[in-house]
Amino acid sequence: MQLVKPLNHNTDSLPAIKLIPLDGESSLKIPGIRTTKTSAPTDIRLVKVLEFLRSTNLAPNSRKMYERELKRFLGWTQLHYHELRPRHLGLYKEYLRDEVKTDSGKPLSKSSINAGVAALKSFFKWMCYIYPDIIATNPTLGIKLEKVPLPPAQSLTDEQMKRVWSALELLGETKQRDTALVHILSHGLRAGEIVQLNVGSFDGKLLFLPDTKTNEPRLVPLRKESREVLAEYLLTREERSEVLNSLSPLMISHHASYKGERLSYHGIYFAVEKIGEIAHIEDLHPHSFRHTYATDLLLLGVDPSHARKLTGHQSEKAFRRYTLRSEQEAAIAAYYRAIGEEVE
C-alpha cells in the first residue's frame, strides 16, 4: 500500500489576501494584506433613465426636470421596474402631495406634483415600448394628474413689443443677430427648435422645421419684414467671408469661447434676458414671444386649428389659453357693436 505524502505548503508561495470593502468607503490599512478600494454599485434602474433622457427630444430645462423627478422616484422605492404596480405609483403620488416639501418648507404645488407624475408617465411609456420584456404594462396609466386651472397666456402687449424693437437698436456686436432672432421668435418658434435650424431651413419665405417637440415636421411662414431681416443677416455673414452651406447653423454665437458656432439654447435665453433688461421688461424669456404669436393669430381671426398647426401645439387643452382671450375680445367687440358704440 502506497502512502500519499502530505503537501508541505510554504506560506510565501500563497497569493496575497485581498479585502474588498463593501460600503464603498476608503480601504482598510492592514499590515501585510493588500486591499482594494471599490466604488458603490450603480443602480441598474438609473441606466435606463439615462438612456431615456438621451433618446428623447427634450429641451434642456425639461431634461433637467425629468432627470430630477425620475431620480426622486428611484430614491423613494427599491422595487425594480417589472415589480411596479399602479398602487405603487398611487402611493408615490401621495408621497409627493403629503411629504415632499419645497426649499421654503411648503408642500409641493399641484403643478409640481403634475410635473413629477408627467415625468413618470413619459418614462414608463418609453420603457413599455423599448423594453416590453422588462415591463409589459404601464403602471402609470391609471394615475391622474391634479386638476390645475389653465394659466393665462403670458403675451406681450403692443407697448412692450415696441420697447423690445427699440432695445435691439441699442445692442452692439449682436444687434443684427439678435434682431433676426427676435423676428424668428415672434413667429412662435420654441428656443429648442431655433437651435436646430440650419441655413437650408430658410427658403427665403418659409422656415422648415423637420424635428419638433411633437415629432412632426412644420412649416412656418414669415412676414415680409422678417424675411428681409433674416436674408440680410445671412448676407452680412457671407460678406464677412463666412462660407455658408445648407447645413450651416442659421443662428451663430458671439461668445468668445464659441464664436461662429451654433447658438445654443442657453445662448438664446441669455440674449433674450439681455434684451429684457434694456427694454425694462421683467422676466422676458423666449416663450413670451411664442405666447404673443399664438394670441395674435387668434385675434387676427385665424382659425384655431390653423393656428395650432402654425405654432406646433400638440395639446388642444394647452392651446385653449389663447382662444380664451380671443373669445373675450370678440365678446367685448360684439357688446359695443350692439349698443352702437365704436370699439377703440
Three-state secondary-structure class, residue 3:
coil
Q: Does residue 142 form part of some domain?
A: no
Average pLDDT over residues 55-66: 85
pLDDT band at 255 (very low <50, low <70, confident <90, very high): very high
Q: Does residue 149 form part of some domain?
A: no
Q: Are 117 and 251 in the same domain?
A: no
Q: Are 226 and 266 in the same domain?
A: yes
Q: Are 258 and 333 in the same domain?
A: yes
Q: Does residue 4 form part of some domain?
A: no
pLDDT value, residue 24 = 45
Q: Are 100 and 202 in the same domain?
A: no
Q: Does residue 2 form part of some domain?
A: no
pLDDT value, residue 214 = 63
| Structural domains counted in the chain | 2
Three-state secondary-structure class, residue 267:
helix
pLDDT value, residue 331 = 85
Q: Does residue 32 form part of some domain?
A: no
pLDDT value, residue 26 = 46
Average pLDDT over residues 301-317: 85
Q: What is the dihedral of CA 155, 156, 157, 160, to 10 degrees?
A: 170
Query: What is the rounded CA–CA span in Å between residue 178 and residue 200?
Result: 19
Q: What is the DSSP string of 180-230?
A: HHHHHHTTT--HHHHHT-BGGGB-SSEEEESS-TTSS-EEEE--HHHHHHH
Domain boundary residue, one of 111, 130, 149: 130
Q: E strands within the chain?
A: 18-19, 34-35, 206-209, 218-221
Q: Are 248 and 333 in the same domain?
A: yes
Q: Does residue 24 form part of some domain?
A: no
pLDDT value, residue 36 = 52
Q: For residue 35, which phi and psi values (nearest 5 degrees)? A: -115, 160
Which stretches within 248-302 are classed as H helix?
265-279, 286-299
Q: Are 78 and 212 in the same domain?
A: no
Q: Are 112 and 162 in the same domain?
A: no
C-alpha cell at 251: 443662428
Q: For the whole model, what pTM was predicted?
A: 0.62
pLDDT value, residue 213 = 65
pLDDT value, residue 300 = 86
**191 closest CA partner among 119, 254, 268, 91:** 268
As a whole number, the mean pLDDT across the chain is 86
Q: Are 165 and 261 in the same domain?
A: yes
Q: Are 323 and 209 in the same domain?
A: yes
Q: Are 114 and 236 in the same domain?
A: no
Q: Are 170 and 122 in the same domain?
A: no
pLDDT value, residue 325 = 75
Query: What is the rounded CA–CA span in Å between residue 189 and residue 59?
Result: 13
Specify whether the CB–CB gap between 308 and 316 falls below 8 A: yes
C-alpha cell at 320: 385653449
Residue 322 lies in domain: 158-337
Q: Bridge partners of 34? A: 18
Q: Are 198 and 254 in the same domain?
A: yes
pLDDT value, residue 134 = 92
Q: Does residue 5 form part of some domain?
A: no
pLDDT band at 122 (very low <50, low <70, confident <90, very high): very high
Q: What is the CATH number of the domain that holds 300?
A: 1.10.443.10
Query: What is the rounded CA–CA span in Å between residue 192 and residue 196?
Result: 7
Residue with cell 443684427: 176
Specify whether the CB–CB gap between 22 and 14 falls below 8 A: no
Average pLDDT over residues 232-243: 94
Q: Does residue 36 form part of some domain?
A: no
Query: What is the rounded CA–CA span in Å between residue 41 and residue 36?
Result: 15
pLDDT band at 182 (very low <50, low <70, confident <90, very high): very high
Residue 336 CA from chain centroid, whole number = 43
Describe the crossing of helices 158-168 and 265-279 by its angle, rounded to 10 degrees: 110
pLDDT band at 183 (very low <50, low <70, confident <90, very high): very high
